[in-house]
């Protein structure tokens, strides 16, 4: 068991359940194409400071979009919560800050979470696709932005089902892997057509577009060069084209974000 965060010394730390079983993974990093990556090769996106900044911007955009850290109609006071793929841990920390009675566990393959956190949040290095197993433990299991990170979704969903307490809820937030154009791809009666007319939605879109453009190099470096076999020049040309398209006022790109929920029977 490898815990990566330390509780703020100003609080009394609450102990973890003794039977929590988490397997630590390789903490080594590798540098490739000017970016830092998790060394095991299980994740093709960077985990360096630049990528962490992008993830935090995306977190703020999600919070602005939903107006809440979770959407499921469930009372989480005094409850146990699991955040899979916690990344920088911002969601877990915010959940802990808003209700000290909650116990939040954050799992990720990279220990990039903050060192000082509230006493009711704990981070662990864990690959949920390998040996992670827990039973009847959590009232809520949260996932966000895991598309492209999981090889075997049915297996992971089975593990989540086992980890949930009876009546517990899984909530997954994912951005669909397609970009639509307001002026080209959407039917006139589609509700997304009017999305950008709302100023708050426009602000969210600008936040996501900015973070996407900033993180584009990290999102394409390994995927395009190692997997697709593209040259450095080809990837740079592609990235420049994407940034140019995102800046075109006539394109007005729209992303479709879906929230999936499931409840374990009582």
**Residue 241's pLDDT is what?**
87
CATH 3.40.50.150 fits 6-24+50-175+255-263, yes or no: yes
Whether 143 contacts 163, CB under 8 Å: no
- Greater confidence, 244 or 190? 244
Task: Indicate the pLDDT class of residue 24, thresholds 50, 70 and 90.
Answer: very low
CA separation for the pair 3, 21 (Å, rounded): 11
Owner of token pair 């809820």: 169
Reference 61, options 175, 148, 170, 219; nearest CA is 175
Whether 254 contacts 162, CB under 8 Å: no
What would the pLDDT profile of 35-49 be if each residue is shown by its tens digit?
Answer: 998 876 667 889 999
CA within 13 Å, CB half, 161: 9
What would the pLDDT profile of 138-183 be if each residue is shown by its tens digit?
Answer: 999 999 999 888 989 999 999 999 999 999 999 999 987 666 665 5
Backbone angles phi, psi at 244, to 5 degrees: -65, -40
String of DSSP letters for 154-205 = HHHHHHHHHHEEEEEEEEEEEEEEEEEETTTTS-TT-GGGGGGGSHHHHHHH
For the chain, the average pLDDT equals: 82
- Greater confidence, 148 or 14? 148
Residue 223 has pLDDT above 50, yes or no: yes
What would the pLDDT profile of 250-259 be if each residue is shown by its tens digit?
Answer: 666 677 889 9
CA separation for the pair 229, 39 (Å, rounded): 20
What would the pLDDT profile of 54-99 be if each residue is shown by its tens digit?
Answer: 999 999 989 988 999 999 999 999 999 999 999 999 999 999 999 9
Domain ranges in the chain are 6-24+50-175+255-263, 178-253
Predicted TM-score (pTM) of the model is 0.79
Residues of the chain with pLDDT > 70, as a percent, come to 77
Q: Which of 23-27, 122-126, 133-137 has the lowest mean pLDDT?
A: 23-27
């Amino acid at each position: 068991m490898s815990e990566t965060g330390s509780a703020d010394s100003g609080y009394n730390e609450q102990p973890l359940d003794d039977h929590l079983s988490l397997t630590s993974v390789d903490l080594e990093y590798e540098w490739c194409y000017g970016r830092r990556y998790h060394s095991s090769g299980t994740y093709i996106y960077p985990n360096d400071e630049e990528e962490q900044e992008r993830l935090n911007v995306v977190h703020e955009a999600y919070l602005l979009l939903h107006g809440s850290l979770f959407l499921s109609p469930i009372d989480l006071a005094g409850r146990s919560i699991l955040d899979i793929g916690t990344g920088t841990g911002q969601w877990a920390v915010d959940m802990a800050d808003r209700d000290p009675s909650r116990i939040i566990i954050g799992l990720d393959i990279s220990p990039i979470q903050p060192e000082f956190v509230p006493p009711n949040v704990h981070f662990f290095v864990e690959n949920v696709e390998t040996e992670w197993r827990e039973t009847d433990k959590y009232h809520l299991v949260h996932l966000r932005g895991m598309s492209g990170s999981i090889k075997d979704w049915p297996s992971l969903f089975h593990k989540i089902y086992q980890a949930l307490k009876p009546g517990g809820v899984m909530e997954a937030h994912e951005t669909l892997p397609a970009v639509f154009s307001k002026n080209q791809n959407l039917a006139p009666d589609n509700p997304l057509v009017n999305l950008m007319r709302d100023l708050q939605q426009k602000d969210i879109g600008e936040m996501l577009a900015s973070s996407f453009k900033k993180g584009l190099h990290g999102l394409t470096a390994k995927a395009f060069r190692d997997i697709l076999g593209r040259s450095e020049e080809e990837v740079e040309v592609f990235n420049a084209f994407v940034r140019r398209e995102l800046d075109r006022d006539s394109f007005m790109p729209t992303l479709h974000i879906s929230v999936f929920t499931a409840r374990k029977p009582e």
